[in-house]
Amino acid sequence: MSSLGGGAASNSIPTISAAVSSSSLASKTSASNSSDALSSSNRQLLTTIQIVQQKFKENENVLSIFEAYQIIGQEHTSRILCLVVSVAGGTYAVFSMAASRLPPRSCSDLTIDKVFPLNESFCMGNDRKGSISQLQFTLKCSDEQPVKYFYYPLSSDNDVVDFDTFQAQVTSAKMSMVLSPSESTALSFAWVNDYRQIGEVKQEMKRREHEYIKYKDFTIYCATYNVNNKSYIDSPLHLWLAASEDAPDIYAIALQELDTSAKAITFSENRPDYMWIMKMLESVHDKGEYEELTSVRLVGMMLTVIVKREIRSSITRHNVKTIARGILNTLGNKGGVAVSLQLNEANLCFVNSHLAAHMGFVEARNEDYHGIVKGLVFDDELRRTINDHDHIFWIGDLNYRIEEPPGLQLPVARSTAHSAEILLKYDQLRQEMRKGNCFEGYTEGPINFRPTYKYDPGTDNYDSSEKQRAPAYCDRILWKGSRITQLAYNSVMDIRQSDHKPVYAVFRVSIKTRDDHLYKKVHEEVLKLLDKRENESQPQIIVEKTIIDFGMVRFNETVVSDFTVSNACPMQVGFEFKRKDPPLNAICEKWLRVEPWKEKLMIDSTKSIRVKLSANVDSITSLLQKIRTTNWKFDFDILILQVENGPHIFITVTGEYKPSCFGLSMETLCRTDRPLCEYDQQQIKDLMNDESPEFRVTMPREFFLLIDYLHKQGPKVEGAFTLDSLEFKHARNVEFNDIRDWLDTWSNNEFPGTPQAAAEALLMLLHLPEKPLLDPYVDDLLKTKTTAEAMELVSLLSSPKRNVFVHLCMFLREGIERKYYNGMHVATIFGRVLLRSTKKSDDYYRDINCREFMQRFISNGEMSTLSSSSSSASSATGSHHNHHRATTPVAKMKNSASNASLSGGSTAAVDSS
Amino acid sequence: MATTPRSGGSAGGGTAQRPNGTSQSKSCQFKLVLLGESAVGKSSLVLRFVKGQFHEYQESTIGAAFLTQTICIEDTVVKFEIWDTAGQERYHSLAPMYYRGAQAAIVVYDIQNQDSFQRAKTWVKELHKQASPNIVIALAGNKADLSNIRVVEYEEAKQYAEENGLLFMETSAKTGMNVNDIFMAIAKKLPKNDGANNQGAGAGRRLNENENNRQTTNCCK
Ligand SMILES: Nc1nc2c(ncn2[C@@H]2O[C@H](COP(=O)(O)OP(=O)(O)OP(=O)(O)O)[C@@H](O)[C@H]2O)c(=O)[nH]1
Ligand SMILES: [Mg+2]
């Protein structure tokens, strides 16, 4: 599979590249390689395709993107369509995304609103008719309505391919899956579901955020100190870190110049300094219990986040990142370190930066700032930048100085006479911020403390060295984001080990917090709403009737009924009749035809469905079996009309079967005491299920009537039994139903057909019962070697079967003897009928075997054996039949049958011995 | 094109705005089927559970309707795919198609109808014989609002349920009594590991697909 996914992916790249300008391609490759590349290149060049890519997982690759829009109501809504391959699944899908701005600037501007897996049913239609629809196309997959999109003839973004390219890529992606059929593993579209179901709930939850979000105040304490290479300072840090009245919830403590030795710089020292961290933990507010959450260090810069134990569990995520802005942007003596964390529902970012030094390097500082903002990307699942946070605190030695106003001698800042207010007028940071050159969107609180740099260590005196550096507000704390209130901002004069004074700021931040109770409530509501949507979007079909009553249904007659189905919903809907379980494995029983069995209904349309029922030679056997075995009221069938993605509707096909002799077993026929036309379905069912050994007659009257008729025809029966007799051609004519009625009424009228039709009726009578005449000894009989052996088994048959068999053989033998029909043919067809296999395997040798078996009974040589067995069968009745030995078989048979039928119920127990 | 390696987690779909470790709840999907004699109130129970409604003149179901309803228990989101079947005896032969592959069943009887209770027992027997072996079965004695004219005693049904390992409640689709509760009880009893989830995913609306699969496997044998 990997070869498929990977191969196709790399194939598609050249096509995409062709559509992208070379400059953006270059930035794309450099930016996507690694985060190092990101930090050094300009992050604003992150291309749309890269932003889209961020929506997906690691081995899901965005192959191309395409700009489109949808018209929803009166509104045009922008969509970004992208073709994505899952390397693991080896499959493709087109995703449609709503973009809150175009081009998107981060992946949070995008929401996936629809997914189209490129499965078999996927189809991208482009109907180039009309003016606006020229720019229209549809995407569709399996169970859904096609979704209509429009595209712009010219696209604004270099990343975006044109329509023809996009369509070609989608088509070739789909083809590639068809062409390389799944090898060992099946193509999997499972990955697509991650974006489908879950998305909807999350999106809805996001939309209703205001219902379960409340704001909870947290105190955040930011502190910064340039420690001037003092590795450990035994100073009263609590003055710096515990200056607030209440114990803060979170500390972000920034240090600079922890170690600026060449060694530390060269090896980009990044191990947090635990001596310092211990010292901090000792010095934080003593009204709370604290623990270190995380620390991050790059050479001289270290940022440590310390949290109150009780809120630790509210922090669900934290990440750190460093970025070097020293010489060539690789050395870590300058730059930034940052911590990103999620507190309840809010994302917080703390940045500690040490920007370029020296009075004249304002530009460099601004550049450093921008470099950090653009280049610092956290390695979290969303690849957040600093600006992707709700609350940002920028702490550090920003190194901005106080400009020397022209005309004023001596560094203005040196004079303690000047208030902070005047000094700040000349503060470079404030000036640059006003000009919009850096820290856009950041706020800094009022400064009511002296410049924090540069002091003679151990004193509160400004630099007295030769350099006489001008004092400056190097150490600053700024913030960005809503619901932040600064409670304090100050420096600490009494800590004197460094040439900087430490600075701290205390904030109250209202943190977006989920009310679990409300959240649960809204969550359930959202789930219910989606259920409701799902339930209500089910297509509906109205069926004209759910019961089709055919009334009286007769053997060998076809009845037809039509009913309509109408679309009852505002969209096209498909339906089909559902296939039933094996053994049936079809949409309906054998005796039914349903047309059409599958259909699509346009809006407001109605279709007619035809149901045909015929209880004929092909189906009567199973129909009678079903009647016999149905416990409850019998229905011909129940069709399941399955609305695509909707309910199932049961359509009952009912009626009453009018019994006929065809298909009934010899035993059942021998239990009748009147013509079959006088029975109803229930009575015949009871008769079929009657297992008593009592029979009213020795053999079925209907059998006798046919044999008798044929016998009387003499030479006219010539050719009545041929090899194609089993095709039952006569039964396909309506005239055949006269024969049916003649038999079912025990008619005294002349036989209403030809001898050939009578011969066929005889075969049908023997062929259509559920079990063959020689059941249950078929297999045993076929194994017998001698007729005598076979006769022993025959004598074990039920008496109706035995009598029918014996008399049939005698009758056939007579016909063959008189050369009315071909003995070979007769043996073949009756072999097939009487020894019919109940298993489905139609074996050639078995066929021969059956024929040979039959030949033994109907050829001349066996006459005596059969006669004797016949008489023995008859003698079993214990009656006066013994003396019939000399009479012709048919004459004898006629006697016994008519005798039996005449004697009726009273002497029914002919086999009672 | 090259993707940037990420540390853990997916950035999939709507997770973008709210990636919150603690709130991530498990979700399972189960196929549930309602069985029982006609007019005992199967459709009414579903209607109450899914839409919170009750119809005095609820039409008899002629077919099988599919509805979904999701509930949350603890941190698990349980999505039921509910198949309401036709109770009329003439449709009995079609029932296996609907209870096959179901992880749960509610067998309903009417407390004022002794026959319906007997019929419920035969449904339970049939399920034990033919449904999937670990199916969770609940017995619902419905129309509990009419308990003043009851004929099936609570204790009798309760004892029967206990003997047969069934959940049991008397419910009323009319008043809503115990309707959510019985579904909740089932959800609690169902195994909510990943396996259950997968099982459920194949069922329900995709009944058809599922069956085709099953048939192909049969063919291959
Ligand atoms: N008093 C009362 N009546 C109920 C209750 N539940 C259902 N009913 C009524 O009983 C009748 C049958 O309810 P249905 O929900 O259609 O029964 P069903 O089990 O779905 O029936 P089939 O679809 O034929 O299998 C309707 O008239 C309902 O209004 C209940 O809890 N109390
Ligand atoms: Mg119903």
Sheet strand arrangement including A558-567:
A541-543, A558-567, A606-614, A592-595
The string of pLDDT tens digits covering residues A347-380 is 999 999 999 988 889 999 999 999 999 889 898 7
CA B164, B167, B173, B174 dihedral sign is positive
* Range in A445-449, A525-529, A721-725, A906-910 with the lowest mean pLDDT: A906-910
Q: Is the pLDDT of residue A30 over 50?
A: no
Q: What is the pLDDT of residue A908?
A: 33
What are the structure tokens assigned to B147, written together?
Answer: 């308990």
Distance CA A431, CA A429 (A): 5
Residues in chain B: 221
Half-sphere exposure of A246 (CA within 13 A, CB side): 12
Based on DSSP, count helices (H) and strands (E) in chain A, helices before strands: 27, 27
- Full DSSP string of A539-559: --EEES-SEEEEEEEEBT-EE
DSSP-assigned beta bridge partners for residue A91 = A86
Q: What is the pLDDT of residue A583?
A: 85
Neighbours of A74 (CB within 10 A): 5
A296 dihedral zone (left: phi>0; alpha: psi -120 to 50; beta): beta
Distance CA A143, CA A125 (A): 16
Dihedral pair phi/psi, residue B165, rounded to 5°: 65, 35
Q: What is the pLDDT of residue A108?
A: 65
Q: What is the pLDDT of residue A43?
A: 45
What chain A residue is nearest to B67 in terms of C-alpha separation? A535
What are the structure tokens assigned to A169, written together?
Answer: 């890529």
Three-state SS annotation for A857-913: HHCHHHHHHHHHHHHHHHHCCCCHHHHHHHCCHHHHHHHHHHHHHHHHHHHCCCCCC
Domains of chain A are 48-177+191-196 (2.30.29.110), 213-514 (3.60.10.10), 541-658 (2.60.40.10), 695-858 (1.10.555.10)
Tokens 């035994």, residue located: A234
Distance CA A454, CA A830 (A): 121
Determine whether the shortest distance from the Cβ of B173 to ligand 1 is under 6 A: yes
Query: What is chain A's mean pLDDT, rounded?
Result: 82
- Full DSSP string of A552-601: EEEBT-EEEEEEEEEE-SSS-EEEEEPPPPTTT-SSS-TTEEEE-SEEEE
pLDDT band at A412 (very low <50, low <70, confident <90, very high): low
State percent of chain A over pLDDT 70: 81
> Of A72 and A558, which is predicted with more confidence?
A558
Q: What is the pLDDT of residue A532?
A: 87
The string of pLDDT tens digits covering residues A861-901 is 544 445 444 443 433 333 333 333 333 444 444 444 444 43
Distance in Å, alpha carbon of B18 to nearest chain A alpha carbon: 8
Determine whether the shortest distance from the Cβ of B56 to ligand 1 is under 6 A: yes
CA A413, A419, A422, A428 dihedral sign is positive
Chain B hits for A379, Cβ within 8 Å: 6-7
What are the structure tokens assigned to A68, written together?
Answer: 């489109």
- On whether the CB atoms of residues A652 and A638 are closer than 8 A, the answer is yes
SS3 A379: coil
Neighbours of A143 (CB within 10 A): 11
Question: What does the radius of gyration of chain B's CA atoms come to, in whole angstroms?
Answer: 20
Q: Tell the residue nearest (CA) to atom 1 of ligand 1.
A: B143
The string of pLDDT tens digits covering residues A178-212 is 665 544 334 567 677 666 645 667 767 877 888 99
Q: Is the pLDDT of residue A18 over 70?
A: no
Based on DSSP, count helices (H) and strands (E) in chain B, helices before strands: 7, 6
The residue among B54, B5, B31, B177 whose CA lies nearest residue B106 is B31
**Alpha helical stretches, state H, chain B:** 42-51, 95-99, 114-130, 154-163, 179-189, 194-201, 207-220
Distance CA A610, CA A596 (A): 7
Q: Is the pLDDT of residue A12 over 70?
A: no
Q: Is the pLDDT of residue A620 over 50?
A: yes
> Of A565 and A325, which is predicted with more confidence?
A565
Q: Using CB atoms, which residue from B20, B70, B93 is nearest to A531? A: B70
SS3 A75: strand
The strand pair at A346-354 and A391-397 is best described as: parallel
pLDDT band at A741 (very low <50, low <70, confident <90, very high): very high
Residue A759's alpha-carbon distances to A49, A66, A498, A666, in angstroms, are 81, 76, 123, 17
What are the structure tokens assigned to A760, written together?
Answer: 């066929």
What are the structure tokens assigned to A580, written together?
Answer: 């039933």
- Ligand 1 binding pocket mutation candidate from B42, B58, B148 (most atoms within 8 A of CB): B58
> Of A538 and A418, which is predicted with more confidence?
A538
Distance CA B134, CA B132 (A): 6
> Of A163 and B143, which is predicted with more confidence?
B143
Three-state SS annotation for A10-34: HHHHHHHHHHCCHHHHHHHHHHHHC
Q: Is the pLDDT of residue A38 over 60?
A: no
Distance CA A192, CA A95 (A): 9
Determine whether the shortest distance from the Cβ of B175 to ligand 1 is under 6 A: no
SS3 A280: helix
A201 touches chain B (CB under 8 A): yes
Domains of chain B are 26-189 (3.40.50.300)
Distance CA B2, CA A316 (A): 30
Q: Determine the average pLDDT of the residues in A786-801.
A: 91
Q: Using CB atoms, which residue from A60, A202, A319 is nearest to B18? A: A202
How far, in Å, is the centroid of ligand 2 from the Cα of A574? 24
Q: What is the pLDDT of residue A808?
A: 94
What are the structure tokens assigned to A69, written together?
Answer: 């829009």
DSSP-assigned beta bridge partners for residue A541 = A567
> Of A388 and A753, which is predicted with more confidence?
A753
The string of pLDDT tens digits covering residues A278-309 is 999 999 999 999 999 999 999 899 999 999 99
Q: Is the pLDDT of residue A26 over 50?
A: no
For residue A454, what is the DSSP state? -
Closest-lying ligand 1 atom to the alpha carbon of residue B44: 15
Distance CA A706, CA A667 (A): 17
A546 touches chain B (CB under 8 A): yes
DSSP-assigned beta bridge partners for residue A443 = A479
Tokens 């853990």, residue located: B8
Q: Is the pLDDT of residue A737 over 50?
A: yes
* Range in A102-111, A226-235, A453-462, B145-154 with the lowest mean pLDDT: A102-111
Q: Tell the residue nearest (CA) to atom 9 of ligand 1.
A: B41
The string of pLDDT tens digits covering residues A629-644 is 988 789 999 999 999 8
The residue among A281, A279, A305, A283 whose CA lies nearest residue A293 is A305
Residues in CB range of A582: below 8 A, 6 or more apart? B215, B218
The string of pLDDT tens digits covering residues A650-705 is 999 999 999 999 999 999 999 999 999 999 999 999 999 999 988 999 999 999 99
Cis peptide before A800 (omega within 30 of 0): no
A848 dihedral zone (left: phi>0; alpha: psi -120 to 50; beta): alpha
What chain B residue is nearest to A50 in terms of C-alpha separation? B3
Q: What is the pLDDT of residue A179?
A: 60
- On whether the CB atoms of residues B14 and A199 are closer than 8 A, the answer is yes
Distance in Å, alpha carbon of B165 to nearest chain A alpha carbon: 29
Q: Is the pLDDT of residue A571 over 80?
A: no
Q: Determine the average pLDDT of the residues in A235-242.
A: 92
Distance CA A444, CA A451 (A): 15
Residues 628-647 of A with CB under 8 A from B: 632-633, 635, 638, 640-642, 645-647
Cis peptide before A454 (omega within 30 of 0): yes
Q: What is the pLDDT of residue A86?
A: 84
Residues in CB range of A591: below 8 A, 6 or more apart? A613, A614, A615, A616, A619, A620, A622, A623, A636, A637
Q: Determine the average pLDDT of the residues in A316-326.
A: 91
Determine whether the shortest distance from the Cβ of B85 to ligand 1 is under 6 A: no
How far, in Å, is the centroid of ligand 1 from the Cα of A855? 66
Residues of chain B with pLDDT under 70: 1-25, 193-221
Q: Is the pLDDT of residue A142 over 90?
A: no
DSSP-assigned beta bridge partners for residue A85 = A61, A92
Q: What is the pLDDT of residue A144?
A: 65
Q: Tell the residue nearest (CA) to atom 7 of ligand 1.
A: B41
Residues in CB range of A652: below 8 A, 6 or more apart? A546, A547, A548, A635, A637, A638, A639, B90
The string of pLDDT tens digits covering residues A476-514 is 999 999 999 999 999 999 999 899 999 999 999 999 998
User: Which amino acid is present at A602?
Assistant: M
CA-CA-CA-CA dihedral for A773, A777, A781, A783, to nearest 10: 140
Closest-lying ligand 1 atom to the alpha carbon of residue B171: 31
Q: What is the pLDDT of residue A879?
A: 36
